[in-house]
Amino acid sequence: MYFVQLYTYFISTNRTPVISLIDMRKDKEKATFLRKSGKSYQEIETEMGVPKSTLSDWFRGQNWSKELSIKLCKMAKLAHTVRIKELNRIRGNNLKKLYQQAENEAAEEFDLLKYHPLFIAGLMIYWGEGNKVSKSRCWIANTEPLMIKLFLQFLKNICGFKQSRIKAWILIYPDLDERLCRSFWSRKTGLSSDNFHKSALVKGTHKSKRISFGVCSVGVSSAYLKCKILKWIQLLANDLVKENYIADIV
């Protein structure tokens, strides 16, 4: 019926049909064959040049086409899931190689740095105050300005990070002035306002244990450095419990 109406339209308007009725029937037959063979509308359009809108008109209401659409949709989801798993597997293998490289590098550097006072101080600070949960956040939090400043020196002079890469934020209580707190920590650490994220407000405060300028958190985001720091701490701890470590220094 579709073809008859289209052909009648061309005759009534004295226009020359772009393709003959016979050719159109052959196209539909071929499209139907491809569709029943499991081809998607996109694949048929690519192969035959028939628009997806025309294919939709041809196969609308056909139960077998609806069932095929559902099947193709499920197959597409399955293929997508498989691709995601494969990409994750490849990414996981690459990350393992990268982390192994970081550990190997840390072991080599440790022999050169294990008696360096700033190296030791930075690791001890991180061991006690640093984030151990996140895979990439190398952050410490403390109320003591000298400890924060010392860790910043560790990041810059031992780990090689520029100050622009270092970020900070302040945990403050409702009775504290954020501007005064930020000014205090900026002055004490040497960090500019560009280094500070938005402060975090904690509700409630203990009257007998007031924190004058809040808790300052500083650090960088680097999974590679995090892997190295944890390896350094492990190596340093193992050496510190050995009697010959102190003997070598003396």
pLDDT in tens, 98-150: 888 889 999 999 988 988 999 999 999 999 999 988 988 999 999 999 999 99
Residue with more model confidence, 91 or 34: 34
- pLDDT-above-70 percentage for the chain: 69
Based on the fold, state whether residues 145 and 36 are members of the same structural domain. no
Residue 90 lies in a domain: no
The alpha carbon of residue 86 and the mean position of all alpha carbons in its chain are separated, in whole angstroms, by 17
Residue 164 lies in a domain: yes
Domain closes at, from 21, 38, 60: 60
Nearest C-alpha neighbor of 199 from the set 184, 214, 186, 189: 214
pLDDT of 220 higher than 90: yes
pLDDT of 186 higher than 80: yes
Based on the fold, state whether residues 119 and 53 are members of the same structural domain. no
Residue with more model confidence, 242 or 246: 242
Q: Mean pLDDT across the stretch 3-8?
A: 49
Residue 179 lies in a domain: yes
Based on the fold, state whether residues 46 and 156 are members of the same structural domain. no
Based on the fold, state whether residues 47 and 137 are members of the same structural domain. no
Predicted confidence at residue 9, as pLDDT, reads: 46
Estimate the crossing angle of helix 178-189 against helix 145-153, to 10 degrees. 50
What burial class does residue 152 get, using C-beta atoms within 10 Å of its C-beta: 0-12 exposed, 13-18 middle, 19+ buried? buried
pLDDT of 43 higher than 70: yes
Q: In this structure, what token pair is assigned to residue 196?
A: 């500070």
Q: Which of 38-52, 68-82, 222-236 has the lowest mean pLDDT?
A: 68-82
Q: Which domain holds residue 128?
A: 115-249
Domain closes at, from 60, 87, 104: 60
Q: Mean pLDDT across the stretch 219-246?
A: 89
Number of domains in the chain: 2
- pLDDT-above-90 percentage for the chain: 40
Based on the fold, state whether residues 133 and 203 are members of the same structural domain. yes
Based on the fold, state whether residues 121 and 244 are members of the same structural domain. yes
Nearest C-alpha neighbor of 236 from the set 151, 100, 123: 123
What confidence category does residue 4 fall into, taking pLDDT thresholds of 50, 70 and 90? Answer: very low
Residue 69 lies in a domain: no
Residue 123 lies in a domain: yes
Based on the fold, state whether residues 142 and 48 are members of the same structural domain. no
What is the reported pTM? Answer: 0.62
Predicted confidence at residue 2, as pLDDT, reads: 45
pLDDT of 163 higher than 50: yes
Q: Mean pLDDT across the stretch 225-243?
A: 91
Residue with more model confidence, 20 or 147: 147
pLDDT of 57 higher than 70: yes
Q: In this structure, what token pair is assigned to residue 202?
A: 């904690």
Based on the fold, state whether residues 125 and 241 are members of the same structural domain. yes
Residue 213 three-state SS = coil
Q: Which of 45-54, 79-88, 148-157, 166-175 has the lowest mean pLDDT?
A: 79-88
Based on the fold, state whether residues 144 and 221 are members of the same structural domain. yes
